[in-house]
Amino acid sequence: MLASIFTRVSKPQFFPSFLFTSRLIRTQMESESKPKIYFACDHGGFDYKEKILEHLTSQGYEVEDYGCHSCDSVDFPDYGYKVAKSVVEDEENRKGIVVCGTGIGVSIAANKVKGARCALCYDYFTAETARQHNNVNVLALGARTTGIEVCKQVIDVFLKTKHITDVEKYPRRLAKLAELEDAEFK
């Protein structure tokens, strides 16, 4: 399984090969159980929607599709919020994917939900780091800024990379984020 993941993920252009190789060796991957994925896009992400849903379902993921359902203009906050809310409320399946033109708008909307940690990722490194260091539970993608094949690779890394819990600083930082949320989201 791991070999097939790594063959689909290309080396980021800005990393020397020796760094990428060591990163592959130390990447912690999720177990084989597949969570339900909450998905939504606005009209800017609609062109990628079917390709992403097909990519996920072909790997055995169950996908809850919150739309949108055409290229007609819609408001991204409705979609980013709905996915993040579902991810936070679901104790068992805590992963979501949101797509808009740049990924920025839906990530802002998703991060308005207490407990949601949405990151805009655009390559292997950002997806891996978002999961390992920040335990991100919602992935944002930009359909107008990132090619579909790269988006699929980012999704694979996001869904299979585990949060690092055995290094003290990462859980400590997440606890601080939770404290900030408690103070701000009353």
Using 50, 70 and 90 to split pLDDT, how confident is the model at 180?
Answer: confident
**Catalytic machinery residues:** 100, 133
pLDDT per residue as tens digits for the range 62-89: 999 999 999 999 999 999 999 999 999 9
Q: Rounded to whole angstroms, how far apart are CA atoms 1 and 95?
A: 20
Q: Where are the domains of the chain?
A: 34-184
Asked if 115 and 157 touch (Cβ cutoff 8 Å), the reply is no
**pTM confidence score:** 0.80
Which superfamily is assigned to 34-184 in CATH?
Answer: Sugar-phosphate isomerase, RpiB/LacA/LacB (3.40.1400.10)
Give the residue ranges of DSSP H helices in 36-75: 46-58
* Residues 6 or more apart in contact with residue 169 via CB below 8 angstroms: none
Radius of gyration of the chain (CA): 16
Mean pLDDT of the chain: 84
